[in-house]
C-alpha cells in the first residue's frame, strides 16, 4: 500500500498474479481503500468461497457435482455414504487444488477429517462427489461487465482428478462434439454474467456420461476470476492475445466486440504437456492428483494429436521413449483393464515385459486380449536402492508404467518405490491411464 500511495496509482490489478492477489483482493478494497480494477472483490470472494460459489451455480442453473459444506465428521460420513465414494474433500475457502484430497473409503475420511484437518464449525470442509472416468474441459476467457468477449475451450488428455496444471491440454479439442463446445460457451456466458466479470477468468468443467444415454453431463468444478497459466498457450494457438483484451477490459478502453474463436476452422492443433521436477525433490512421491505438482510446461503444434503430443513430450527434459527389445516394468491398479490394454499395445513391438509381483503378472497375462503375452516377475528390493538399481540394469528397464489409484502410505510401498526410483534412475514414468495409452499408440505409429 505504501507503493500504491507513493505512486498515486489509479488502481491495482489482482487478476494477473496467481492465487495470492485473489485472496487479498477484498482486504485491498475494504481495508486498504485501493481501487481494484476489473471484477469487484466482493464478486471475487463469491467465487473463492466454495459455499457461495456453489450456491450461485445452483441459482443460475449450472450443474455441478453433488456437494455440501460440513462442520463435523459425523455429518461428513453421512453425506459421503449418501453420494457414495469416492469424494473430494477440501477446506471451504480453497478452489485451486491446495489441501484437497480424494477420499475412497470411510477409513480415509476419518483419517483426513479427524487426524489431519480437525473439522469443526470454525474449520468447515466442503465434500463433493468425485466422478471417476470423466473428461475434464478447460475454459480460458475474458469478459467485460459480465459479457463474454473471447473464450477458448481445451480438453485434457488425462481423466478428471489430475490438477489442470499437471494435465496435458489439447486445443482445439479432438474428441469433443461441437454441441458440447457450444454448451460450454453457454456456461461461460452464464458465469460471466452471474459474477459480473470484467477481465480474465478460467473454468474447469467435467464431462460425464449420462446414465440414461443422453448427451454428456457438463458439471462445473472450479472457476477462478483471474488469468490462468494456460492464457499464453490459448493465445498462441488461437492467434488472439487474450491478455491484451483482458487489459482493455480492465481499463475499460477500446474494448473489442465479442468474437467466437472456437468457430474458426483450423488445420492444426497444439498440445501443452507438464514438466515435473521430481528429481529435485528427494523422496517426494511422483504421483498425479488434485494438488498441482508440475513446475513448468512445454507446448508444440502438429497436424494432429499424435504429432503434437509426441513433439511436446520429446521436448520435455530427459524424456526418452524406450526402444523395442528393452524392458518395461508394470505395477499399480489391477481393478481396471488399463494396464492390460497398454500391454496389448506394446507386446507386438518386442518389448520385454516385467512385473514386481505375481499379482500384476497374473492380471496382465489373464486379462490381456493378446494370448501371447508373457510377463516375468523380477526381484524388487524395496529398501536397498543400490540393489534396485542393479535390478533395473540387469533387466534393462527403460520404462515404468505405474497406474496406482492412491498415493503411497509409506516409503516401502511397492508402487512408491517403483515410481520414485524410476525418476531417480532417469527412466520415463507413466502414471495416468489415458496418457499411457496415447503414448503407446504413438509408439506404434512411429
**Which tens digits make up the pLDDT trace of 403-440?**
988 888 888 889 999 999 999 999 999 998 888 888 88
Q: pLDDT tens digits for 296-343?
A: 889 999 999 989 998 998 888 778 888 899 999 999 988 888 898 899
Predicted local confidence at residue 22, as pLDDT: 85
What totals of helices (H) and strands (E) does the chain contain, helices first? 15, 16
Answer yes or no: is pLDDT of 344 > 70. yes
Answer yes or no: is pLDDT of 445 > 60. no
Higher pLDDT, 288 or 190: 190
Band (pLDDT 50/70/90 cuts) for residue 97 is very low
Predicted local confidence at residue 442, as pLDDT: 60
Is 380 within 8 Å of 388 (Cβ atoms)? yes
What are the grid coordinates assigned to 17, written together?
498474479
Predicted local confidence at residue 234, as pLDDT: 97
Predicted local confidence at residue 248, as pLDDT: 96
Helices 433-445, 305-315: axis angle to 10 degrees equals 100
Query: DSSP label at 32?
Result: S
- What's phi and psi for 221, nearest 5 deg? -110, -15
What are the grid coordinates assigned to 9, written together?
496509482
Question: Domains of the chain, with CATH numbers?
Answer: 2-37 (no CATH), 66-129 (3.30.1490.20), 135-314 (3.30.470.20), 320-445 (3.40.50.1380)
Is 127 within 8 Å of 80 (Cβ atoms)? yes
Q: If you average pLDDT over residues 20-44, what whole number do you get?
A: 88
Q: Which H helix or E strand runs over 69? A: strand 67-70
DSSP-derived 3-state class of residue 328: strand
pTM over the 0.85 mark: yes
Answer yes or no: is pLDDT of 446 > 50. no
Strand-pairing partners, residue 147, are 144
Predicted local confidence at residue 96, as pLDDT: 47
Mean residue pLDDT across the chain: 88
Query: DSSP label at 36?
Result: B
Is 151 within 8 Å of 109 (Cβ atoms)? no
Answer yes or no: is pLDDT of 163 > 50. yes
With b meaning 16 or more CB within 10 Å and e meaning fewer, what string describes 31-67?
Answer: eeebebbbbbbebbbbbbbbeebbebbeeeebebbeb
Higher pLDDT, 67 or 137: 137
| Of the ranges 37-46, 138-147, 341-350, the best mean pLDDT one | 138-147
Tally of residues, the chain: 446
What are the grid coordinates assigned to 114, written together?
479427524
Answer yes or no: is pLDDT of 210 > 80. no
CA geometry: angle 133, 356, 370, nearest 5 deg: 60
| Of the ranges 27-41, 122-136, 189-203, 393-407, the best mean pLDDT one | 189-203
**CA 23 to CA 15: how far, in whole Å?**
11
Band (pLDDT 50/70/90 cuts) for residue 150 is very high
Is 100 within 8 Å of 90 (Cβ atoms)? yes
Answer yes or no: is pLDDT of 169 > 90. yes
Kindly list the strands in the beta sheet with 327-332, ordered across the sheet, starting from the edge strand earlier in the chain.
Answer: 376-377, 352-355, 327-332, 397-403, 429-430
Predicted local confidence at residue 120, as pLDDT: 63
Q: If you average pLDDT over residues 289-301, what whole number do you get?
A: 83
Answer yes or no: is pLDDT of 213 > 70. no
Amino acid at each position: 500500500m505504501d507503493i500504491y500511495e507513493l505512486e498515486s496509482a489509479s488502481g491495482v490489478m489482482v487478476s494477473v498474479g496467481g492465487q495470492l492477489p485473489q485472496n487479498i483482493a477484498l482486504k485491498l478494497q475494504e481495508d486498504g481503500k485501493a481501487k481494484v480494477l476489473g471484477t469487484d472483490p466482493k464478486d471475487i470472494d463469491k467465487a473463492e468461497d466454495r459455499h457461495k460459489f456453489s450456491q450461485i451455480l445452483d441459482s443460475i442453473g449450472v450443474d455441478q457435482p453433488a456437494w455440501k459444506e460440513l462442520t463435523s465428521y459425523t455429518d461428513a460420513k453421512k453425506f459421503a455414504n449418501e453420494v457414495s465414494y469416492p469424494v473430494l474433500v477440501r477446506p471451504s475457502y480453497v478452489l485451486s487444488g491446495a489441501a484437497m484430497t480424494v477420499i475412497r473409503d470411510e477409513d480415509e475420511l476419518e483419517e483426513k477429517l479427524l487426524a489431519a484437518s480437525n473439522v469443526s464449525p470454525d474449520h468447515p470442509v466442503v465434500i463433493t462427489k468425485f466422478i471417476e472416468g470423466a473428461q475434464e474441459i478447460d475454459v480460458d476467457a475474458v469478459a467485460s461487465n459480465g459479457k463474454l468477449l473471447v473464450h477458448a475451450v481445451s480438453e485434457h488428455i488425462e481423466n478428471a482428478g489430475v490438477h489442470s496444471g499437471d494435465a496435458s491440454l489439447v486445443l482445439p479439442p479432438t474428441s469433443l462434439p461441437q454441441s458440447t463446445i457450444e454448451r460450454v460457451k453457454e456456461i461461460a456466458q452464464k458465469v460471466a454474467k452471474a459474477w459480473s466479470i470484467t477481465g480474465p477468468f478460467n473454468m474447469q468443467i467435467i464431462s460425464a456420461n449420462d446414465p440414461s444415454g443422453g448427451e454428456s453431463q457438463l458439471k462445473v468444478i472450479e472457476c477462478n476470476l483471474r488469468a490462468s497459466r494456460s492464457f499464453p498457450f490459448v493465445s498462441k494457438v488461437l492467434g488472439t492475445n487474450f491478455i491484451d483484451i483482458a487489459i482493455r477490459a480492465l481499463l475499460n478502453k477500446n474494448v473489442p466486440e465479442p468474437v467466437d474463436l472456437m468457430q474458426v476452422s483450423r488445420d492444426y492443433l497444439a498440445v501443452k504437456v507438464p514438466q515435473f521436477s521430481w528429481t529435485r525433490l528427494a523422496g517426494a512421491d511422483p504421483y498425479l492428483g488434485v494438488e498441482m505438482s508440475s513446475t513448468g510446461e512445454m507446448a508444440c503444434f502438429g497436424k494432429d494429436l499424435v504429432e503434437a503430443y509426441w513433439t511436446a513430450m520429446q521436448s520435455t527434459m530427459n524424456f526418452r521413449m524406450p526402444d523395442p527389445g528393452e524392458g518395461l516394468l508394470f505395477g499399480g491398479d489391477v481393478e481396471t483393464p488399463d494396464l492390460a490394454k497398454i500391454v496389448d499395445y506394446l507386446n507386438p513391438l518386442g518389448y520385454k515385459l516385467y512385473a514386481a509381483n505375481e499379482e500384476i503378472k497374473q492380471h496382465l497375462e489373464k486379462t490381456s486380449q493378446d494370448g501371447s503375452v508373457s510377463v516375468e516377475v523380477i526381484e524388487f528390493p524395496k529398501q536397498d536402492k543400490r540393489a534396485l538399481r542393479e535390478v533395473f540394469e540387469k533387466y534393462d528397464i527403460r520404462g515404468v508404467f505405474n497406474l496406482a489409484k492412491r498415493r503411497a502410505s509409506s516409503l516401502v510401498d511397492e508402487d512408491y518405490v517403483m515410481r520414485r526410483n524410476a525418476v531417480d534412475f532417469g527412466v520415463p514414468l507413466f502414471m495416468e491411464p489415458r496418457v499411457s495409452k496415447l503414448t503407446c499408440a504413438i509408439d506404434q505409429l512411429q
